[in-house]
Structure 1
């Protein structure tokens, strides 16, 4: 879709343009310098009369639209790669469905079937894990408003990254099959922005910018025959998974009455509870099955859906509080209720590959894999709470190992400089029922953000990166602590893998030889680590001849078989991390052997990340020594990988 037209007036009138409104009349008039001619501003401080000029043109390498967890990961990955990046978010807070406005738990893969929990080691690493660990450091009280600010700090401090809140990308300016610019509207500052960029990444979920660019997309459910998906409906239809709102309650220590609002809808509990999935097992947090879908246009009907969700929610809570069937709710009061629906599905944009149910269930290997998933296939009742005669969820089809997500599903098939990540990726409806989980979406985000930097580096578009530079993309992701199933690291620039010999303190488990085997985690019972007997401990890398070194990296332990998300219901915290993982290395020093003499070249204190990157002025050394001093609580240190670079 082209930028909507402006019309010229005759000489002596406006001199330039007014926007055409829906009825064809001029909605807003501008003069030739871009000021609104209808604005009669008298600025008392200066004594001047005039018109505000609130139109700006901005230039970036990469523009990321939407700052949910996938958008944050994309923007941070691009910025860390050294390209000038902007992150545009239409809300006042970051996090999308995970923000304080919606409070959806940042779930991930956790839950593979047929694998002992201690052997799964499946949790997502990379940028999403950095954020989760940092949250426990700054926000041990599990406050969602504080979580918003943890995300804000994480994004704001990144070099090369500009954040624009309360700004909506509304329209694409096209140049052939490329997006030339995004027209954005700042809601709080009344400013229209024209954002030029070489590469665009739509992580907004609904994908308005991508849609106005003319990117091909689908809504609704594919029929069973199109991709031979056994869980798809027999014939295609328009249903998408529904929106929901969440709630949190507070124990007041005394009986608290509840009076429902006038618009509340009665809850037919007798019909609803015939389905085991709709049972009310706790009264502390929201019920995912209070869900409203749509069989045509869930975006256009969003306000109607929002009102219905609130009405149904209050009907359910009225039943919980006032039926007498839940005495445990007597002292409970509503402490927070969402006003913005959390969205599961709307547009799905088409890439060079559409990821399907069978791709996932058959664990198909993709040479261009850049992310993974493993949450069960989870097909919800399309009618949600408006269809109580059918189950809330038809099935959970679990996985016994991780499945791969190819890069070809993360860029547009017909818009040459457009990528996407999250629930709007190139997926069938059934595949989406698994890949929509927030941490899985964040892995997609880190992949496309990293890929966008390669697009800038080589002056190429995503499809070309996928065909000509996919190995470089995968190597960078693995180096940045993204796990890619069935893809071992083989970075030719890594000085440890290319000529270095690794030695260490006595091992409690594992071996130093495993630190260069290309796998940065234990998985499925296979060891890929070295663990010290005690602390302090030492790792040393030796070369036959001096090598130039300026960076040392290692991947430490964060117990990846444990969950790490913040929950609305503290009862769900049992058995998971609620602090910085005690296994994580907290402090270390790096020494280098130069001309036969050891000297300290760098130190790390209060480390909060699994992938520890230490940089220092370039030196020529025959060996480096990592002195691991202390972890965040465990008396031993576990390491999965050591690297060195010039």
Structure 2
């Protein structure tokens, strides 16, 4: 692959080669002044509650005010309950905050001149996850909901990684009809649609933050960067992070560890085997790989979002921004009409593939910022694009990365596996994005910035790619799984990473329960892992939910084809709908041979996986995932898919035990918690569809 570099790109290339960073003309010092210092926070803001009828397995989740002041419930359905997943204020207010300083400290100014030892907090837990992107966050939620104690260490102030408000890359996954990733990721997407119809990124951050804070089994350490690890006998004993906001160290001792950091920080700290760069075509017989292996990777991007206004606006670029001409945008901007420039999120503003995508990140950030402001100068002022009424909405100063270190597990997924559809026995997730192999020169090349090599949708991803080959208690999920560069070019997209994260968290729960290593789960518990994932609404291609002994003995009556409620396929597949259809008000009745204790009723609804019930004129990208790129005048809001059942009642032996008036989720578990012989489910109202569509109704023992 050639390295055609021309024009202003030569200046960028020279700066990269010398690893030169920008020298700011001046630095601003923003001192903070407080009348005192808090060494310990023993009581935080109390009075918050989080309620949700999500895929959680417990009826009640409660946190003490001493820990963080959050309380919540999951799986609860009642007419008096707040909407699921929504954070609401209760009686507590800011006035409930109490100063942790003792009486003497509270009346004396602190004045010292001495060397002090910085505080180290130590945690004993079952699972420690490093990295709070979509994979790490969802892994933590999955493990916590299955009863395991988790510490989640995230080096940023917000969750979501590349999808957070700091980077704003939209979540992408498998192509094709009805291929949407479900499970916890769909739960998050539907909450964002419900709470955030204008797709505001600050609200999006709160959705992610709330999902983690409303899990009692998760201890969240934000702004905490992993910097060291202790190992013994081929296992990780602990990891330590530095929290910038509190100037404290946090040491986490755990039985299992997961690296979802993207850059695989635990690899060099623990001696876990890893790779970085591109394999030769000969090593795995990959015909899209280069002839010789090299250290080049896909690059990183600082993204640009712009806003449409009602009148022309002015843009004056900073003096240090690069200047570009039309020829610099060959194969990047669609110039077929003056309006085509705003059809993407400027992902091709990419650098870093020719250098070390970890060690050189700061240098690349500086060069990317100069590039971004220069690109907008061309679009706005170059006389080629129709951008008179557009202005900058936001520019990211934190690069979003595509590739760096990749772990080596018991199996390395490669291009041939992807093309063959990956029908592994240990399939625990799936992909379906093209093998989207970005040119390592990124913006510097005049060649196409990427090649979209075809990939089937779906293709399977095996569990053996999620745990370390040589560190016994280390797992990973995200763009750093055990895969070759070419396979990574497809698996790296965030929806795929997210469902791998859910598989990781679920596997950890099984391993901890049974005293197994991650490899031991593969050897002894694969079928249980797969069935648990399906029960939690994760789609596994070529697999179906197995009927439970309880449901095999139950008589089901309803207005539609009740066999579809228990056929184990919970979405349209291969042209077969698999949905039970009835009219609102038509009950489904379960009758047991004899009374027995039931824990819950599991319901899987139709969340319109293709988002065909979104308003007319909605941006297509919003249908893929509800995240905004540019802000357009008059843009339609997203709305809850009309096919979801909004209101329903559940009766046990004739007594109404649950009623719901504002459901917006796909997977709902209604607690029963009693011995009964008959359960009646009455759907009352959808979000707009004339018929009720259900993929599963299942009694749980």
Instruction: Sort the TM-score into its range (normalised by shorter chain).
Output: 0.7 to 0.9
Larger displacement relative to structure 2 (169-178 or 545-554): 545-554
Distance 1:499 1:44 in 2: 67
Pairing of 1:131-142 with structure 2 (within 5 A): 131-142=188-199
**What corresponds to 1:567 in structure 2?**
628
Offset, 1:220: 0.5
Output the aligned Cα RMSD.
2.3
TM-score normalized by structure 1? 0.86
> Contact 1:246/1:288 (CA < 8 Å) preserved in 2?
yes
Tell me: CA distance 1:466–1:605, structure 2 relative to 1, closer, same or farther (3 Å).
Answer: farther
CA contact (8 A) 2:422 2:461 kept: no
Q: Which residue of 2 aligns with 1:548?
A: 597
Q: How far apart are the structure 2 equivalents of 1:214 and 1:295?
A: 25
* Per-residue deviation, residues 214-270 of structure 1 (Å, max 9, x unmatched): 111111011101111111111111111110111122233333222222222222431
What is the aligned residue count? 582
Q: CA deviation at 1:591?
A: 1.5
- Alignment pair present for 1:382 and 2:440: yes
2:281 aligned partner = 224
Question: Matched residue of 2:460: which SS?
Answer: strand
Choose from 514, 518, 522 the match for 1:458. 514
User: Relative to structure 1, is the Cα distance of residues 449 and 198 closer, same or farther in structure 2, using a 3 angstrom cutoff?
Assistant: same
Where does residue 578 of structure 1 map in the other structure? Answer: 638
User: In 1, are the aligned partners of 2:193 and 2:626 still within 8 Å (CA)?
Assistant: no
How far, CA to CA, are the matches of 1:518 and 1:348 in structure 2?
Answer: 35
Using a 3 Å threshold, how does the CA distance of structure 1 residues 278 and 342 change in structure 2: closer, same or farther?
Answer: farther
> Structure 1: how far apart are the matches of 2:107 and 2:129?
38
1:521 paired to 2:575? no
1:335 correspondence with 2:393:
yes
Conserved in 1, the CA contact under 8 Å of 2:266 and 2:272? no
Output the CA distance in 1 between the equivalents of 2:331 and 2:197.
39
Distance 1:254 1:284, change over 3 A: farther
- Closer, same or farther: CA 168–540 of 1 in aligned 2, 3 Å: same
- Whether the 8 Å contact between 1:246 and 1:285 is mirrored in structure 2 is no
Answer yes or no: is the 8 Å Cα contact 2:156–2:223 preserved in 1: yes
- Pair 1:163-2:217 in alignment: no
Q: Distance in 1 between matches of 2:535 and 2:335?
A: 43
For residues 155 and 450 of structure 2, what CA distance do their matches in structure 1 show?
Answer: 31
Change (3 A) 1:274 1:628: closer
In the aligned structure 1, how far is the partner of 2:499 from the partner of 2:171?
Answer: 12
How big is the shift at 1:551? 1.1
Q: Which aligned pairs between 1:69-108 and structure 2 lie closer than 5 A?
A: 69-108=134-173
The one of 187, 209, 213 equivalent to 1:130 is 187
Instruction: Say if 2:679 is the partner of 1:632.
Output: no
Write the deviation string for residues 98-120 of structure 1: whole angstroms up to 9, x where unpaired: 011110001221x33xxxxxxx2
Select which of 352, 364, 368 maps to 2:426: 368
Distance 2:663 2:372 in 1: 43
Q: 1:539 aligns with which of 588, 599, 620?
A: 588
Give the direction of change, closer, same or farther, for the CA distance of 1:309–1:146 in structure 2 (3 Å limit).
Answer: same
Is 1:587 the counterpart of 2:587? The answer is: no
Q: Kindly report structure 1 stretches of 4+ aligned residues shifted beyond 4 Å.
A: 46-53, 274-280, 570-574
User: 1:305-347: per-residue Cα shift (whole Å, max 9, x none)?
Assistant: 1111111222221111222112x21121112111111111111
Q: Distance in 2 between matches of 1:107 and 1:573?
A: 25
2:463 alignment partner, one of 403, 407, 411: 407
Flag the 1:491–1:216 CA change in 2: closer, same or farther, 3 A: farther
Whole-Å separation in 1 of the counterparts to 2:542 and 2:634: 31
Equivalent residue for 1:445?
501
Match in the other structure for 2:402: 344
Question: Are 2:563 and 1:502 aligned?
Answer: no
Q: Give the structure 2 partner of residue 10 of structure 1.
A: none
Where does residue 174 of structure 1 map in the other structure? 231
Q: CA deviation at 1:573?
A: 12
1:147–1:275 Cα change, 3 Å: closer
1:304 aligns with 2:363: yes
Show the 5 A alignment for 1:47-66. Answer: 51=116, 54-66=119-131
Q: Tell me the alpha carbon deviations over residues 470-492 of structure 1, each in whole angstroms, 9 at most, x when there is no partner.
A: 11111110000000011111154
Q: Give 1:190 shift.
A: 0.4
- Structure 2: which 5+ runs fail to align? 1-38, 40-103, 612-622
Report if the CA contact (8 A) 1:130-1:608 is conserved: no
Distance between the aligned counterparts of 2:592 and 2:532, measured in 1? 24
Q: Identify the match of residue 697 of structure 2 among 632, 637, 642.
A: 642
Residues 379 and 631 of structure 1: CA distance in aligned 2, closer, same or farther (over 3 Å):
same
Determine helix, strand or coil for the equivalent of 1:329: coil
Tell me how far 1:542 sits from its aligned partner: 2.2
Query: Does structure 2 retain, via aligned residues, the 8 Å contact 1:94–1:151?
Result: yes
Q: Pick which of 239-248 and 441-450 moved more.
A: 239-248
**C-alpha deviation, 1:561, in angstroms:** 2.1
Q: What is aligned with 1:29? A: none
Q: 1:572 to 1:542 in 2, by over 3 A?
A: farther
The structure with the largest strand share of the pair is: 1
Q: In 2 relative to 1, CA 616–546 (structure 1 residues): closer, same or farther, beyond 3 Å?
A: closer
Q: Distance between the aligned counterparts of 1:484 and 1:386, measured in 2?
A: 40
Structure 1 residues 165 and 278, CA, compared in 2 at 3 Å: closer, same or farther?
A: farther
Could you tell me how far apart the structure 2 residues matched to 1:450 and 1:573 are?
42
